[in-house]
Structure 1
Amino acid sequence: MDKYYVDFKEGEIPKYITIAKHIKKLIDGNKLEDGEKLPSIRSLAILLEVNNVTIVNAYKKLQGDGYAFQKMGSGTYAKRKDINKSFKKEYSEVLKKIAGERLKEYIDFTGETPFSNFFPVASFKDVLNEVLDRDGAEALVYQEALGYEGLRKSISEVFWQDRVHSDDILIVSGAQQGIDIISKALINNNDTVVVEKPTYSGALSVFKWRRADILELPIEKDGVDVEKFEKLLKKNKIKCFYTMSYFQNPTGMTYSIEKKEKILRLAEIYDFYIIEDDYLSELIYDESIEYKSFKSLDKNDRVIYIKSFSKIFLPGIRIGYLIAPLKFKESIQNSKVNTDISTSSLMQRALDLYIKEGRWKEYINNLKLVYKERYILMEKYLRKYLGDKVSFISPGGGLHFYLKINNSNEVDSIELFRKAKEKKVLITPGTLFYKVPSDGREYFRIGFSQADENSMEKGVKIIGNILE
């Protein structure tokens, strides 16, 4: 009964509302099971030293808010709401509603891609014109299913130093399509997939759609716990492990090379495959972080590698690529053909030329300089204005920070999102990144890609005031 105890504060809030709010937090925090019987009206009234009517009103409010149900003659029972469905829809509708011109009224900390103002429009326009002059109408027709051969050769040469053959590279329309194609080719109903906890919501959606059995492994500072992973593998036959190896979305964590090598050994021993989503690895600010992907360390053809140019370059271009193990090469290529036949021919040719002429490397170097400054500033503002209200680990790269609210008994991330939105600040609550949404109510992601220095400081100040 101790968990039901409420410390009433003097003020205008009625006691029954305080009681109902406390029980909601017990339910959302997994401290009350779905369907667990709540204390009788009389016993809870005695514990909290209030009259029976106060408890009756608290239980009625819980029922009205969808957090409890009553069985005639038996009592009142806890009911866990599917906050992911309802809030995911709310979050999506908010972003749609304020998209375009209205978004300029807000300080946007939700962005996952570089600010469009940094995109070298004039340079890319020159490349597009050069492609059209060189190739004419041929630049606008469908390419072979694997993608434009020139681009595949450039990727092989520039990014893999020819260690990967161009015929093993498949061009896709971004990382999300890559995950979808792989899932269609590999994952069947009730196959087991292991994901990081928390993880990218788009990947969770795909695996749920494939009706996979999803198991979660908590992510630590240098990747998932390998010992827990092996214990899980001894009890379960898994098909694949989905990971974001650099600046993981949402936590910002990066795998150590040691953990990568251990997980690759586990993949060989327990016969599963690693889906590596190489996310934002170009934006390394901390020089102690060494770039070595799972794929580059893979000696047994256990890694399915996905890379998106959309995240780091320009979302509208929608180009990425994947490299599949020989065993799945044909089935994954067939899955791509059945999905959309071909990715934009003109954009593939333009990106190929952009990479060949060294413009890609120049663009990335400039972007790193700009965002390293913003990263340092954002970290400074978080420590200055949020202080002990939150805790976080500095990721050393990428475009966001993942924060844990220390005063979680007062404000959770959904409430923070709503209150910040009213003050024209947008954040991303952690509930969107968990299989069980309530696991993420203490966390939120804050990105710095879309806000300038003044906006960053102002926005973080507002968040700090809400968390007071």
Structure 2
Amino acid sequence: MDKYFVSMQGEIPKYITITRHIKRLIDINKIEDGEKLPSIRSLSEFLNVNNVTIVNAYKRLQNEGYAVQKMGSGTYAKKKDITKNFKKEYSEALKKISGKMVKEYVDFTGETPSNDFFPVQSFKDVLNEVLDRDGAEALIYQEALGYEGLRKSISEVFWNKKIKSDDILIVSGAQQGIDIVSKALINTNDNVIVEKPTYSGALSVFKWRRANIYEVPIGKDGIDVDKFEKILKKNNIKCFYTMSYFQNPTGMSYSIEKKQQILNLAEIYDFYIIEDDYLAELIYDHSIKYKSFKSLDKNDRVIYIKSFSKIFLPGIRIGYLIPPMKFKESIENSKINTDISTSSLMQRALDLYIKKGLWKDYMNNLNHIYKNRYLLMEECIKSHLENKVDFISPGGGLNFYLKIKDSIYVDSIELFRKTKDKKVLITPGTLFYKSPSEGKKYFRISFSQTDEEAMQKGLSIINELLE
């Protein structure tokens, strides 16, 4: 018994202190699920408190789902799965706080740049020019691959004509790209590797395809290659899903050396890389050099997915995909079977926006704005949450991924609920793991929708709740 309770510090009310301590021991598996707790009499004697204090503590544990009482036998620990059904709770909470109501909150959940910075007038001018130029033709679905003008612009501006326009497929955002690739490549019981943690939308797609999902931890410069290869040696892997820059949620980016290693392994072990090129336009640390997996790919092993929605405007729902020749036809068919064609008007408008150089101007402006916010958020985390969280500065993107120190009892789901009550929104790490309980000590905060005042206010509230 003393191995469990010698470190406990008493305070009034005592039964709450005892309850919290036992909960903590259950959470960290010092007391195992189903283990019998000390009798009321023995624990009261050991802690030098009266029996009523222990009775109240055990009742509270039962009410909070951390213990069960078996008549005539005693009280037993119960491991509470607080992650169960949380994804639904999180989604419904954000839906309720959507629209005008969200302005009442400090919103650290954003994944896209703020609408405040979107050049509405210049895009409106481009739309009008397209309608004047093309008339009703701009509104008609035509080419299955996507508008030829946009595909040519992507080839010329983003790939320096190294990728042919006929090898580019326009899709309705990255999520649809992941979905149609999965439909074309992945069957029931196929083996897929993902980063740990990873984008929840991709996890949902692979689970829906009933794939076997293997996770590899991601570090400062990419996944652990040794652990990655151990999985490759033991299993026939179909594909590896990766976010090569400012990975969601960790913010980590791959070194060029690690990309080369993974591309070599893809050839050796015959698997394909699904590269979700996420937020690579927002590089603030110039020691990070941009070179995608696709640009390094000599063996046609990379399925490249890029969304304009994330970095430009979510409502546009446009992205593009570059498949390997082996899967070109099946992926194109998968796209046609999904929705025939992406909005013709928006494709033409985006094409003209890129051709006029407005895209480059907008990206330069975003980089300037968000680099300043990034540096401010980094400084605010250090000053407000010192000794409460650990984190690695990503050097770009829109997020920071924080780990609550083990000495603090609160988990990220509990923190989400408490911050929501204080009108602050965060994203718990449980959403990014195949086994949600592994993300209980992590949470993601984004600075995409927060100015300096909101940052300071939100982080101060988080600090108070982590005390």
- 1:197–1:462 CA distance, 2 compared to 1 (3 A): same
Q: State the shift of 1:414 in Å.
A: 1.6
C-alpha distance after superposition, 1:151-176 (max 9, x if no partner): 11111111111111111111111111
SS at match of 2:111: coil
- 1:268–1:418 CA distance, 2 compared to 1 (3 A): same
- 1:71–1:364 CA distance, 2 compared to 1 (3 A): same
Q: Which amino acid aligns with 2:443?
A: F
| Residue 42 (1) aligns with residue 39 (2) | yes
| Residue 417 (1) aligns with residue 435 (2) | no
Q: Which amino acid aligns with 2:214?
A: L
The residue that corresponds to 1:462 in the other structure is 461
- 1:182–1:48 CA distance, 2 compared to 1 (3 A): farther
SS at match of 1:387: coil
| Residue 130 (1) aligns with residue 160 (2) | no
| Residue 391 (1) aligns with residue 390 (2) | yes
Q: Which amino acid aligns with 2:289?
A: E
SS at match of 1:296: helix
SS at match of 2:241: strand
8 Å CA contact retained: 1:29, 1:438: no
1-side partners of 2:189 and 2:69: how far apart? 34
The residue that corresponds to 1:208 in the other structure is 207
8 Å CA contact retained: 1:45, 1:52: no
Q: State the shift of 1:282 in Å.
A: 0.1
| Residue 257 (1) aligns with residue 221 (2) | no
- 1:133–1:376 CA distance, 2 compared to 1 (3 A): same
Count how many residue pairs are aligned between Structure 1 and Structure 2. Answer: 465
Q: State the shift of 1:412 in Å.
A: 1.6
The residue that corresponds to 2:216 in the other structure is 217
The correspondence of residues 370-389 of structure 1 with structure 2, limited to 5 A, is 370-389=369-388
2-side partners of 1:168 and 1:6: how far apart? 66
| Residue 315 (1) aligns with residue 314 (2) | yes
TM-score, normalization: structure 2?
Answer: 0.93
- 1:303–1:67 CA distance, 2 compared to 1 (3 A): farther
2-side partners of 1:22 and 1:252: how far apart? 34
Q: Which amino acid aligns with 2:175?
A: Q
SS at match of 1:283: coil
The residue that corresponds to 1:185 in the other structure is 184
Q: Which amino acid aligns with 1:382?
A: I
Q: State the shift of 1:7 in Å.
A: 4.4
Q: State the shift of 1:143 in Å.
A: 2.4
Q: Which runs of 5+ in 1 are unaligned?
A: none
Q: Which runs of 5+ in 2 are unaligned?
A: none
Q: Which amino acid aligns with 2:342?
A: T
The correspondence of residues 32-431 of structure 1 with structure 2, limited to 5 A, is 36-42=33-39, 45-46=42-43, 49=47, 61-67=60-66, 79-431=78-430
2-side partners of 1:48 and 1:11: how far apart? 16
8 Å CA contact retained: 2:83, 2:413: no
8 Å CA contact retained: 1:127, 1:354: yes
SS at match of 2:321: strand
SS at match of 1:89: helix
SS at match of 2:169: strand
SS at match of 1:260: helix
Q: CA RMSD in A?
A: 2.3
Q: State the shift of 1:22 in Å.
A: 4.2
8 Å CA contact retained: 1:252, 1:402: yes
Q: Which amino acid aligns with 1:398?
A: G
1-side partners of 2:138 and 2:183: how far apart? 30
Q: State the shift of 1:99 in Å.
A: 0.9
Q: Which amino acid aligns with 2:39?
A: R
- 1:335–1:120 CA distance, 2 compared to 1 (3 A): same
- 1:83–1:214 CA distance, 2 compared to 1 (3 A): farther
Q: State the shift of 1:342 in Å.
A: 1.1
SS at match of 1:312: coil
SS at match of 1:242: strand
2-side partners of 1:61 and 1:6: how far apart? 21
Q: Which amino acid aligns with 2:35?
A: L
1-side partners of 2:41 and 2:87: how far apart? 34
- 1:451–1:140 CA distance, 2 compared to 1 (3 A): same
Q: State the shift of 1:212 in Å.
A: 1.1
Q: State the shift of 1:27 in Å.
A: 4.8
- 1:348–1:389 CA distance, 2 compared to 1 (3 A): same
- 1:37–1:365 CA distance, 2 compared to 1 (3 A): same
Q: Which amino acid aligns with 1:125?
A: K
Q: Which moved more, 1:100-109 or 1:63-72?
A: 63-72
The residue that corresponds to 1:5 in the other structure is 5
SS at match of 1:239: strand
8 Å CA contact retained: 1:41, 1:52: no
Q: Which amino acid aligns with 2:227?
A: K
Identical aligned residues as a percent: 75
C-alpha distance after superposition, 1:91-123 (max 9, x if no partner): 112211111111111111110100001000000
8 Å CA contact retained: 2:198, 2:248: yes
8 Å CA contact retained: 2:10, 2:17: no
- 1:85–1:40 CA distance, 2 compared to 1 (3 A): closer
C-alpha distance after superposition, 1:301-328 (max 9, x if no partner): 1111110000000001010111111111
TM-score, normalization: structure 1?
Answer: 0.93
C-alpha distance after superposition, 1:58-115 (max 9, x if no partner): 5655554444557788776655555334221221122111111111111111101000
1-side partners of 2:89 and 2:168: how far apart? 38
Q: State the shift of 1:56 in Å.
A: 6.5
Q: State the shift of 1:290 in Å.
A: 0.4
8 Å CA contact retained: 2:266, 2:301: yes
8 Å CA contact retained: 1:282, 1:364: yes
8 Å CA contact retained: 1:175, 1:307: yes
1-side partners of 2:199 and 2:238: how far apart? 19
Q: Which amino acid aligns with 2:108?
A: F
